[in-house]
Amino acid sequence: MRHLTSTYGIHPSERLVRLFSTKPYQGVDPSKAKILIIGNDANYSPEITQHEFFRRILDYHADGVRFWKMTGVHHPFMLADYPFDRRKGGVRYHLNFSKLNFSPAHAEFFSFVELLHLPTIGNTGSNKELFFQLLDSDHLNWLESLALGGDPKFVLVNQTFAKSINKISKKLGVLKELATAISDKPVPAVALRKAHVTVYNGYSFSHSVSNEYLGNLASLMRAYIEHR
């Protein structure tokens, strides 16, 4: 199998890019989610579309709720037959999420939406300027409407996003209400609490996080699910 560069950028697979353009979220439809998790970008191994395992990725993106209920894990990266380096390609993010210990019975509550509407390879932090260049105003407006409008929900943002949101807002003229809500707020803590939405400023699952933090976050999420 040919090995591709892991320099940060758009994923080289046109098929994967088209998949995201059609369905720019993972899990349940975000307009129906009780827990909305906003990440930076969906990161994959550059070789993944050349491997037979890619069919598991396609199954997951077709219906994330069904995938979780059928396989017992929330993402293909958590399957025992995942064939790539688990230290790279977005695996740590989903490994840390799995430590929240939610089960397939909770699948219909969770949706993952990214700031970037495109799948990527490599380390986002290695080329932040490219990340900012790839951001799309329409997608970000849609994301903010999901986060702050619609049905009641618990919205998890991360400190990396919170640190860059003012730059994003000024550069593209978007996310103004969300920027006001989470800029310069402590981490981890509730950044905004309204009648229908709670925005929690936490740590990215892509980074090292403590079991204590994950346990507290899981408790907050469970309480929100049970009382809404």
The pLDDT tens digits of the residues spanning 80-129 come to: 999 988 888 789 999 999 999 999 999 999 999 999 999 999 887 788 88
Predicted local confidence at residue 184, as pLDDT: 86
Whether 9 is in a domain gets the answer no
State how many domains the chain has.
1
DSSP 157: E
- pTM assigned to the model: 0.92
Whether 10 is in a domain gets the answer no
Whether 3 is in a domain gets the answer no
DSSP 53: T
User: Alpha-carbon distance 67 to 60, whole Å?
Assistant: 5
Whether 187 is in a domain gets the answer yes
Whether 17 is in a domain gets the answer no
Taking alpha carbons only, the member of 118, 112, 57 closest to residue 82 is 57
Distance of CA 31 to the CA centre of its chain: 15
Banded pLDDT at 1 (limits 50, 70, 90): very low
Domain that holds residue 51: 31-227
Whether 11 is in a domain gets the answer no
> Helix, strand or coil for residue 198?
strand
| Exposed e or buried b per residue across 188-225, where buried means at least 16 C-beta atoms within 10 angstroms of its C-beta | beebbeeeebbbbbbbbbbeebeeeebeebeebbbebe
Whether 25 is in a domain gets the answer no
> Helix, strand or coil for residue 102?
coil
Whether 40 is in a domain gets the answer yes
Looking up residue 119, the CATH number of its domain turns out to be: 3.40.470
User: Alpha-carbon distance 122 to 44, whole Å?
Assistant: 8
pLDDT at 130 over 90: yes
